[in-house]
Amino acid sequence: MNFPNDIDGDVMRSLEENGFDFDNETQVEFNIDFKHWPLTDNEKEAIQKLYPNCELIEPEEADINNGDLFGYVQFYVLSKVDHDFIVNTQNSVTNQMKQYGGWCDSWAVGLGHA
């Protein structure tokens, strides 16, 4: 396959090298990072309305000890993986999260099928 020469294309090339099947739907994990943590109750509520299946991931003790005090929000989408889907989802989420100091620029899939 031909993937664009960007970070998402790099991930897709790596998936292809590891035998990922782009023809099947799979569970795609997206992460939303924030400029501040913890989120306020109002921010949590608003984000959970937008992404009902999201999880708020608190920093682990080891991360806190290393100075990383920020958690993140994680949500999943069942879809075929293609560059447009990944980029459009990240852009849409980032636009929705700007008002809360958040952005989405990371995603992952398992090598299995959802």
Query: What domain count does the chain have?
Result: 1
Residue 77 lies in a domain: yes
Please give the residue range of the domain that contains residue 53.
25-109
Residue 18 lies in a domain: no
Residue 38 lies in a domain: yes
| Tens digit of each residue's pLDDT (9 = 90 or more) over 68-110 | 899 999 999 999 999 999 999 999 999 999 999 999 999 999 7
What element of type H or E holds 8? helix 7-17
Residue 34 lies in a domain: yes
Angle, CA 21 vertex, CA 106 and CA 31 arms, to 5°: 15
Residue 72 lies in a domain: yes
User: Hey, how many other C-beta atoms are within 10 angstroms of the C-beta on 40?
Assistant: 10
Residue 1 lies in a domain: no
Q: What pTM value is reported for the model? A: 0.90
| Tens digit of each residue's pLDDT (9 = 90 or more) over 33-56 | 999 999 999 999 999 999 999 999
Q: Are 103 and 16 in contact (CB under 8 A)?
A: no
The two beta strands, 26-34 and 72-79, are: antiparallel
**CATH code (residue 84):** 3.30.70.970
Residue 14 lies in a domain: no
